[in-house]
Amino acid sequence: MSAPAAAPAAEPNPFDGVNITELIANVSALSSVNDIDQGHTAWIMMSTALVFIMIPGVGYFYSGMARSKNALSLIMLSVLSLAVVSIQWWAIGFSLAFGPGTSGYIGNLNYAFFMGVGTEPLNGAVKIPGIVFAMYQCMFAAITPALAIGSAAERGRIFPSIVFIFIWSTIVYDPIAYWTWNLNGWSAKMGGLDFAGGTPVHISSGAAALAYCLILGKRTSHGTDEFKPHNIANVVLGTVLLWFGWFGFNGGSALNSTSRAAMAIAVTNLSAAVGGLTWCLLDYRLEKKLSALAFCSGAVAGLVAITPGSGYVGTPAAVAFGFIAGICCNLAVKLKHIFDFDDALDVFAVHGVGGVIGNILTAIFAEQKIVALDETVLPGGWLNQHWIQMGHQLADSVTGVAYSFVVTYLILFIMDKIPGLSLRADPESEAKGLDETELGELAYYHVDRLVAVNTRTGETKPVKEETIPQQNDANATIV
């Protein structure tokens, strides 16, 4: 009798030793990666670089408006803001602003040190990796305190400013960014419309600038002819860098590369142009000169005003934004003379007032058809008979001004009482200039001795500066 046939060997189970939960998570992550749109991602990465270039643009704009002995310190402060906030944003800032918190006011620390921030989309930016979104928002966080510091120009010490930037970003900027842009923020849930930072960037920096200049007090000899911009060319350069970068600032805030992003760029450009010409013509009416400084100030005012509405309004509205901002911000500059405070570089007038103007105009001109360019659905503003939108915009604006001003004032008041963190430079340092006393370097090294060189013989001889226009030797060149 033969032995029974052996049972066939069981086939190996491909899932033996595999953690099914981990497998499902990996498949889910792969699905998220597959949802990423490479075109959208490339545009937001480019927009990140565009916003980056705005930061030194602020520095050059401010340096040109100040006196030459403080020019380098203002450029340096913009770069220091980028460095300090980049670290703060990585450590806690991004998580506080965009973490999945349950509060309507501040996020949690789930994303601290960029934990869990990688390829998966975050905060509704469904077509781009989370790390791209985080870095894009980092540039917004970095430029905001750089704007505010302008009001402390020519008398605010640099080291306390660095400490202030870190604290202010954590306590002021991050909560405002959360309530405006985080899906759980109270303003976002209420229905506030702020496409690219009218409140988190401009209103917050403008209100902070007002608090900063009030704490510091006026510059020595403020109000005399001594305080004039030393280099309008730097102001123009800064304006061009800002205008250029603002295409990424507003266009990138669509978080996609659709027609809505293109429309945001179009209205940004138009508002800047109208704002610049409006301010310029207002000053021409008084001075009978076409001032480059006036045009640059108006262009920035137009850019600020269109920021909250850039993804919600069409091109005809952009003309209104630029025109109204040019007039209102021009008039707001006079507030510092009426109320006798020294906002050295008009940060409050341009960014604070301009941000509020932009929020209000967004309530009027926001349109459903513009929002729908990337298939988003929103009720719009007054043009769509959505009357309550003005209430939402005013609530957001007033809260932003009040919160930023009060908290900034308290931060600076406490810092000024701490040894080593006194905010204001001493009178001698202020007189010499912060470039020399705070940095030990100068933006400009002037020639101590002028020499006339005979180009035919090569001979040189000292020349007094006042004799330069009267050169008798046709072969002589001043070097």
Please write the tens of the pLDDT for every residue from 256-273. 999 999 999 999 999 999
Q: How confident is the model at residue 226 (pLDDT cuts 50, 70, 90)?
A: confident
- Whether 38 and 184 map to the same domain: the answer is yes
Q: Which amino acid is at 141?
A: A
CA 266, CA 150: separation in Å to the nearest integer? 28
Residue 193 lies in a domain: yes
Answer whether residue 461 is part of any domain. yes
Best CA proximity match to 432, nearest among 74, 154, 227: 154
| pLDDT for the residue 411 | 99
Q: Pick 130 or 14 by higher pLDDT.
A: 130
Residue 15 resides in a domain: no
Query: Do residue 422 and residue 470 come from a single domain?
Result: no
* Contact yes or no for 136/44 (Cβ under 8 A): yes
Domain enclosing residue 473, as ranges:
447-478
382 and 453 part of one domain? no
**Domain shared by 246 and 100, yes or no:** yes
pLDDT at position 467: 47
CB 66 within 8 A of CB 153: yes
What is the pLDDT, as a whole number, of residue 11? 58
Task: Report the pLDDT value the prediction gives residue 470, as an integer from 0 to 100.
Answer: 42
463 CB-near residues (< 8 Å, 6+ apart): 450, 451, 452, 478
Model pLDDT for residues 154-197, shown as the tens digit of each residue: 999 999 999 999 999 999 999 999 999 999 999 999 999 999 99
Q: How many CA atoms lie within 13 A of 23 on its CB side?
A: 7
Asked if 109 contacts 92 with a C-beta cutoff of 8 angstroms, the reply is yes
Q: Which residue has the higher pLDDT, 475 or 360?
A: 360
The model's confidence at residue 457, banded by pLDDT at 50, 70 and 90, is low
pLDDT of residue 227: 81
What is the domain-level CATH number for residue 146? 1.10.3430.10
Kindly report the pTM of this predicted structure: 0.87
Pair 297, 348 in one domain: yes
- Please give the residue that has the higher pLDDT: either 184 or 462: 184
Q: Which residue has the tokens 């918190």?
A: 101
Please tell me the predicted confidence (pLDDT) of residue 477: 43
The pLDDT of residue 6? 53
Instruction: List the single range of 42-56, 118-132, 406-420 with lowest mean pLDDT.
Output: 118-132
In contact, 352 and 207? CB cutoff 8 Å:
yes
Q: What is the mean pLDDT of residues 139-144?
A: 99
Both 329 and 468 in one domain: the answer is: no
Average pLDDT, the chain: 90
Query: Is the pLDDT confidence value at 206 over 60?
Result: yes
Asked if residue 375 and residue 456 are part of one domain, the reply reads no
According to the model, what pLDDT value does residue 167 have? 99
Region 199-205: mean pLDDT is 98
Kindly indicate the confidence band of residue 8, based on its pLDDT and cuts at 50, 70 and 90. low
* 346-to-100, 104, 330, 336, 339 alpha-carbon distances in Å: 36, 32, 10, 8, 14
Sequence-ordered strand ranges (E) for 62-139: none
Residue 1 belongs to a domain: no
pLDDT tens readout for residues 71-87: 999 999 999 999 999 99
pLDDT at 469 over 50: no
Based on the number of CB atoms within 10 Å of its own CB, is 351 exposed (0-12), middle (13-18) or buried (19 or more)? buried
Give the Cβ contact number of residue 42 at 10 Å.
13
> Does some domain include residue 6?
no
Residue 392 shares a structural domain with residue 451:
no
In a domain, 5, yes or no: no
Best CA proximity match to 263, nearest among 135, 98, 376, 382: 376
pLDDT band at 475; cut points 50, 70, 90: very low
**pLDDT tops 80 at residue 60:** yes
Dig out the tokens for 198 from the structure: 């009218």
Q: What is the token pair recorded at 377?
A: 């659905």
Q: Of 34, 45, 140, 147, which is closest to residue 97 (Cα–Cα)?
A: 140
Taking the C-alpha atoms of residue 205 and residue 311, their distance in angstroms, rounded to an integer, is: 21
Asked if 478 and 451 touch (Cβ cutoff 8 Å), the reply is yes
* Same domain, yes or no: 386 and 474: no
- pLDDT for position 331: 97
Does residue 131 belong to any structural domain of this protein? yes
- Residues 407, 453 within the same domain: no
Count of C-beta atoms within a 10 Å radius of residue 284: 14
Which strands make up the sheet holding 451-454, listed edge to edge? 460-462, 451-454, 476-478
Residue 474 scores a pLDDT above 50: no
What is the count of structural domains for the chain? 2
The HSE-up count of residue 210 (CA atoms within 13 Å, CB side) is: 24
Q: What are phi and psi of 402, to 5 degrees?
A: -65, -50
> Do residues 126 and 269 share a domain?
yes
**pLDDT above 90: percentage of residues in the chain:** 80
> With bands split at pLDDT 50, 70 and 90, how would you rate the model's confidence at 287?
confident
Per-residue pLDDT, 101: 83
Q: Determine, yes or no, domain membership for 128.
A: yes
- Shared-domain flag, residues 397 and 455: no
